[in-house]
């Protein structure tokens, strides 16, 4: 049986590049860049709650880091360091090797260094803390939306929720679409380049983890604003338009897409479009910030349509 220390050494220890001291001591040591603020966030994935226990471990490693990177993307921060705390029911080395491959592969791709964590026996639980840097005073916050800002969303919405329903056996999808939706759910791509490109352009931003309505709702609440959303403008996952009406609310209320929702002044439309193009992530204008009154959903003719129930809440 490998010891906890063998496992850490084998799967989670890599040479430090930007940390003063990485894995192996009582604490890691970091030197932060002058003029930058630290952006720090933690996200936990619990087996049975956030993922099926038999999920492909490589994808799980990817997702555990991706959902944290997505939070930094939504702040406009550059991710730099991560801590990984694992509770594992057993020391399954095949599982750990694949998990580490997924986690460290994505970390490498974004220049993130794994600098520490904790490893313990227990019900499968993956907890990541991410640290990044953003120019002092310039982070994209939830509380900064302003009246008459455009509301934008990156990529497409609803794919991950469709993937989940398909995995649960609730809906049928053609094989190619099923695979695409499942990839959205299991291997989300954090919109880091877009988040960075929006610094100085966007007023407020959030990542869409719990559904567009719920997450935009957080911006509105923090900023003390309302919103009008044009339903027909919402960019739907490729599999959605051919689905029955009841499923299309996935684009509004489905979680796990990890796109960015952000607000920006109307005068900056061309700049936002250029930033999205430069980042290689499409962005679509879906509505307008108003002075108050929650979210008003309208059709092409401006007629009000009922807002479906909001996103996921663990204790709701």
Contact residues for ligand ADP, defined by CB under 6 A = 8, 12, 23-26, 84, 86, 114, 116-119
Q: Which stretch binds Mg ion (CB under 5 A): 40-48, 112-120, 208-216, 242-250?
A: 112-120
Q: Which is nearer to ligand ADP, 123 or 241 (CB)?
A: 123
Non-local (6+) Cβ contacts of 163 within 8 A are 178, 181, 182, 183, 184, 185, 186
| Residue labelled with tokens 């952000």 | 262
Partner in contact with 84, chosen from Mg ion, ligand ADP, none, beta carbon below 5 to 8 Å by kind: ligand ADP
Picked from Mg ion, ligand ADP, none, the partner binding residue 117 (CB below 5 to 8 A depending on kind) is ligand ADP
From the list ligand ADP, Mg ion, none, partner contacted by residue 116 (C-beta under 5 to 8 A by kind): ligand ADP
Q: How far apart are the first and last CA of the chain?
A: 42
Site string for Mg ion, 67-106 (x = CB under 5 A): ----------------------------------------
172 interface partner picked from ligand ADP, Mg ion, none, CB below 5 to 8 A per type: none
Q: Shortest distance, CB of residue 30 to ligand ADP, whole angstroms?
A: 13
**Is residue 233 within 8 Å of residue 284, measured between CB atoms?**
yes
Nearer to ligand ADP, 8 or 140 (CB): 8
Shortest Cβ distance from residue 261 to ligand ADP (Å)? 31
The least CB distance from residue 118 to Mg ion, in Å, is 4
Minimum CB–partner distance for residue 13 and ligand ADP (Å): 7
- Phi, psi values for residue 148, rounded to 5°: 70, 10
Q: How far is the CB of 49 from ligand ADP (least distance, A)?
A: 20
Name the residue number minimizing CB distance to ligand ADP: 116
Nearer to ligand ADP, 86 or 160 (CB): 86
Among residue numbers 117 through 156, which ones bind Mg ion (CB under 5 A)?
118
Please say which residue, 15 or 316, places its beta carbon nearer to ligand ADP: 15
Contacted by 23, from ligand ADP, Mg ion, none: CB < 5 to 8 Å by type:
ligand ADP
Of the two residues 5 and 52, which places its CB atom closer to ligand ADP in the complex? Answer: 5
25 binds, among Mg ion, ligand ADP, none (CB under 5 to 8 A by kind): ligand ADP
Nearer to Mg ion, 109 or 121 (CB): 121
SS3 assignment for the chain:
CCCHHHHHHHHHCCCCCCCCECECECCCECCCCCCEEEEEEEEEEEECCCECCCCCHHHHHHHHHHHHHHHHHHHCCEEEEEEEEEEECCCCHHHHHHHHHHHHHHHHHCCCEEEEEEEEECCCEEEEEEEEEEECCCCCEHHHCCCCCEEEEECCECHHHHHHHHHCCCCCCCHHHHHHHHHHHHCCCCCHHHHHHCCCCCCEEEEECCCHHHHHHHHHHHHCCEEEEEHHHCCECCCCCCCCHHHHHHHHHCCCCCEEEEEECHHHHHHHHHHHHHHCCCEEEEEEEECCCCEEEECCCCCEECCCCCCCCCCC
Tokens 């689905």 belong to residue: 243
Q: Is 108 in the site for Mg ion (CB under 5 A)?
A: no
Binding site for Mg ion (CB under 5 A): 118
């Amino acid at each position: 049986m490998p010891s906890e220390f063998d496992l850490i050494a084998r799967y989670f220890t890599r040479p430090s590049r930007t940390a003063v001291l990485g894995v192996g001591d009582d604490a890691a040591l970091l030197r932060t860049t002058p003029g930058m603020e630290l952006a720090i966030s933690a996200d936990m994935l619990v087996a049975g709650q956030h993922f099926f226990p038999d999920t492909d471990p490589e994808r799980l490693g990817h997702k555990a880091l991706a959902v944290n990177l997505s939070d930094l993307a939504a702040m406009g921060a550059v991710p730099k360091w991560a801590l990984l705390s694992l509770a594992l029911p057993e020391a399954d080395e095949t599982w750990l090797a694949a998990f580490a491959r997924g986690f460290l592969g994505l970390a490498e791709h974004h220049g993130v260094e794994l600098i520490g964590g904790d490893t313990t026996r227990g019900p499968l639980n993956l907890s990541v803390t991410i640290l990044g840097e953003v120019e002092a005073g310039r982070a994209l916050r939830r509380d900064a939306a302003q009246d008459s800002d455009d509301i934008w969303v990156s990529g497409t919405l609803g794919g991950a929720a469709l993937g989940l329903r398909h995995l649960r056996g609730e809906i049928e999808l053609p094989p190619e679409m099923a695979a695409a939706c499942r990839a959205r759910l299991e291997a989300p791509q954090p919109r880091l380049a877009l988040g960075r490109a929006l610094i100085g352009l966007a007023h407020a931003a959030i990542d869409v983890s719990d559904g567009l309505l719920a997450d935009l709702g957080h911006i509105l609440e923090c900023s003390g604003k309302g919103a009008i959303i044009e339903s027909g403008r919402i960019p739907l996952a490729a599999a959605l338009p051919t689905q029955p009406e009841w499923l299309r609310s996935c684009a509004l209320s489905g979680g796990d897409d990890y796109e960015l929702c952000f607000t920006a002044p109307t005068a900056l439309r061309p700049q936002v479009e250029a930033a999205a193009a430069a980042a290689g992530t499409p962005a679509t204008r879906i509505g307008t910030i108003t002075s108050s009154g929650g979210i008003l959903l309208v059709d092409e003719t401006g007629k009000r349509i009922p807002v479906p129930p909001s996103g996921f809440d663990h204790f709701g």
